[in-house]
Amino acid sequence: MIANIPETRKVIEIKAPGGPEMLVAGTRPVPEPKSGEVLIRIAGAGVNRADCLQRMGRYPLPPGAPEIPGLECSGTILKIGERVREWKVGDKVCALMTGDGYSEYAAAPAEQCLRVPAAVDLVDAGGLPETFATVWSNVFDRMRLGAGETFLVQGGTSGIGVTAIELAKAFGARVLATAGSDEKCRACLDFGADRAINYKTQDFVEVGKEFTNGRGVDAILDMVGGDYIARELDLLAREGRLCFVALMHGSRVEADFGLIERKHLTVTGSTLRPRPLAEKAAIMRSLLERVWPLWEEGRLRTFTYRRFPLEEAAEAHRLMESSRHIGKIILVP
């Protein structure tokens, strides 16, 4: 099959570091897929909090990363580079990227692509790779969350939060989630959480201890940090694990490290974007083997809150920064 590939593509570029108005439409050549890459006609591109930081000039790009924002997309493969065996022209995939997702066409490493499950709309699939890879790598690879354990996720209605609730439940954990309003708490319960905590009116340590009869929780996925850290060490059970994927309230704090020693705690964290291809490819393989069958079994659902035309990327960022959204925001070229 020979696809009709134009020479140029519409992209959203960052004119200068600043507010959402700095996201403007531009034109670039359609990239030629390098060895090991595929060229994708993009159907949907997920918006992530890191894109907002990049726009503000507060996210140093890993070496070699494209300047066009966008860490994930879904779409149809139009061309394959040399050495690509696993995909063919016409395949529907979603892809993890180091940038370039805010675009009509983009090249992505073949090993960072996953087939779009039959149960998932092609556009919504553009919001899956970043959160699923992050949650798998931190909650299951690093913290080894097991069936029957109790898990707390901060920011339960973020893209990361909703994915963490769904996957932790699917793998048999009991799940608590925090959110900043009663409406968001209801959404956490709807996505499967056993208990939702409105962090503006309730103390997550108190609720977590009450929920576990004083024992504490086994694992916490945190994106808040700052003043939460000492409280999280307090809430963890013996052999508990605490993992950071962001530190929105700050990374320098005073905390009682004696708790780590006395309770045998593990404190960890990671970033996804700068990781080498081989590590990302391993995460994608785990998702394919362990998580993707859950779509076919009907045990997962997508969580797109709103779609915006690609040209309205600035509006999409305004929505994300308002934190009114529940789940994912997707750009549609």
Ligand X SMILES: NC(=O)c1ccc[n+]([C@@H]2O[C@H](COP(=O)([O-])OP(=O)(O)OC[C@H]3O[C@@H](n4cnc5c(N)ncnc54)[C@H](OP(=O)(O)O)[C@@H]3O)[C@@H](O)[C@H]2O)c1
Would you report the helix, strand and coil content of the chain in percent, each value rounded to 5? Answer: 30, 30, 40
Least distance from C-beta 251 to ligand X, angstroms?
12
The residue (of 50 and 267) whose beta carbon lies closer to ligand X is 50
Beta strands in 71-165 (DSSP E): 72-80, 92-96, 105-109, 113-115, 150-153
- Residue 91: φ, ψ to 5°: -65, 145
Closest CA to 115 of 275, 287, 283, 282: 287
CB of 258 vs ligand X, minimal distance in Å: 25
| SS3 label, residue 127 | helix
Nearer residue to ligand X within complex by CB, 33 or 304: 304
Least distance to ligand X, CB of residue 2, Å: 37
Burial class (CB in 10 A: 0-12, 13-18, 19+), 261: exposed
Pick the closer one to ligand X by CB: 105 or 199: 199
Footprint of ligand X (CB under 6 A): 48-50, 130, 134, 154-155, 157-161, 178-180, 184, 199, 223-224, 245-246, 248, 270-272, 320, 323
Residue nearest to ligand X (CB): 158
Q: CA-to-CA distance for 88 and 92, rounded, in angstroms?
A: 9
Task: Please choose, from the candidates 197, 119, 162, 178, the residue with its C-alpha nearest in 3D space to the C-alpha of residue 325.
Answer: 162
Strand pairing report for 304-309 and 328-332 = parallel
Based on CB atoms, which residue is closest to ligand X, 227 or 239? 227
Shortest Å distance, C-beta 47 to ligand X: 7
Query: In angstroms, what is the minimal distance from the CB of 320 to ligand X?
Result: 5
Report helix, strand or coil for 196: strand
Identify which of residues 27 and 271 has a Cβ nearer to ligand X in the complex.
271
> Smallest distance, Å, CB 134 to ligand X?
4
Nearer to ligand X, 230 or 248 (CB): 248
